[in-house]
Amino acid sequence: MTTTDDRDGRPGRGRRVATGLALAGASALGVLALPGAAHASGGSLSNIVLNPGGEACTAAHAETSVTATGSARQPGLKFKLIGQGGSVVTGTGSPGPVTAWGAQTQAGWYNWQGPGDYTACAKNNGTTSVYLNLLSIDTA
């Protein structure tokens, strides 16, 4: 952040104070807008090299549904969706190293673990590095 000089040569605080007030105001408006509003969330990772034994994960909070996707440049990554209790969501793990993966669960399905935090992960169980194109999770 840049500052301006006062007439006596000392750094000025005017711009810093104005920026701080603007950020505080924006934050207050955001907090006021959130309560009671239904919202979806999600997260993603992309363009990551996973070395042997390496794992990359992204998480989001779900109320009623979770959808996760992943892709790799070459086979070598195993994908999974982990539920709020810490266990893999039934039927969502890739059968082995793959280049594309998708998983979904929602309220009312046999594998739904209830509202909470869900995590999508990609793990390299192989002996060579693998390029993770994308790992994403979307929730509602």
Q: pLDDT tens digits, residue range 59-113?
A: 999 999 999 999 999 999 999 999 988 999 999 999 999 999 999 999 999 999 9
Whether the pTM exceeds 0.75: the reply is: no
pLDDT at position 1 over 60: no
Domain of 58 in residue numbering reads as: 41-139
Residue 131's SS3 state is strand
- Residues 50 and 30 placed together within one structural domain of the fold: no
Question: What is the model's pLDDT at position 41?
Answer: 82
Nearest C-alpha neighbor of 116 from the set 102, 135, 137, 91: 137
The CATH number covering residue 128 comes to 2.60.120.380
Chain segment 29-50, per-residue pLDDT in tens: 333 333 434 456 899 999 999 9
Total residue length of the chain: 140
Spatial distance between the Cα atoms of 30 and 111, rounded to a whole number of angstroms: 34
Question: What is the model's pLDDT at position 40?
Answer: 66
Q: What angle do CA 105, 44, 132 make, to 5 degrees?
A: 100
- Residues 79 and 129 placed together within one structural domain of the fold: yes
- Residues 116 and 58 placed together within one structural domain of the fold: yes
Asked if residue 137 lies in contact with residue 58, where contact means CB atoms within 8 angstroms, the answer is yes
